[in-house]
Structure 1
């Protein structure tokens, strides 16, 4: 089954968080902490491990793709799913591949693919791209 995701606007107040940070290694922890606090507030502690892993992978890719530039983070709680989005200034497409056993990197999007209901990417009108993942709510 193919699930198409198109931005539907913002969810009801309080079920949405958005930040822009500089693409630097420390930004990953900052965004994970922010997300964890909101997941707790939204009663989604049972989804936190998976969501934080997805966030870590998407943010790590954005940092690697466009270091030192702004990256955007958005997380939204919809009635049946959690939407995680990371925007960066790179125009390069994100590729999902299964890394070889001795590879030191390259597993991130494969991990996201295993956890998420669906993931994808879309070009934005300002030349940036957004990579998103949809996680089913428990």
Structure 2
């Protein structure tokens, strides 16, 4: 019947186990994100400077990690991407920001570029603080991080060591 979908017509979602999956098996939402927005490992992806863009950036990062065969880094990279994006959205006043991911022997690097030249500041964190933990988390969980000032803006980045096979 027109307008009704039977059980066999429902879209199929690929479920990928946490370990041992082939690098070509990327879930539908992640693949759609790369198709629609671009692949941040190929070229910088521009996103709107809105809180909901953090979810998009996390999906893109997870997709790239799976393409690279590094799903074991999903959770930490997603958290740290959220923190970088959150800082770009909250503190820069920009309309957009850029996400880029790079891989070189032994390392992955995630970059968020925005038009503000204001430097992020790693503040001491106390137990009862309800905000201001973003750079603290990046400092503790990434192997290294930093900020590169550009003629117009900055790139805030973190890197994680990976074991190449």
Q: SS of the counterpart of 1:25?
A: coil
Q: Which runs of 4+ in 1 moved over 2 A?
A: none
Task: Check conservation: 2:94, 2:115, Cα contact below 8 A.
Answer: no
Aligned partner of 1:9 in structure 2 is: none
Counting matched residue pairs gives 124
CA offset digits 1:14-70 (Å, max 9, x no partner) = 892430011101110001101111111110001111111111110100001124511
- Extract unaligned runs of 5+ from structure 1: 1-13
Distance of 1:106 and 1:32 partners within structure 2: 20
CA distance in 1, matches of 2:59, 2:41: 15
Partner of 1:96: 122
Q: Distance in 1 between matches of 2:159 and 2:146?
A: 9
Q: Whose radius of gyration is greater, 1 or 2?
A: 2
TM-score of the superposed pair, with normalisation by structure 2: 0.70
Q: Which has the higher strand share?
A: 1
In structure 2, runs of 5+ residues without a counterpart are: 1-38
CA–CA distance in structure 2, aligned partners of residues 87 and 121 of structure 1: 10
Output the TM-score relative to the length of structure 1: 0.83
What do you get for the CA RMSD once the two structures are aligned? 1.6
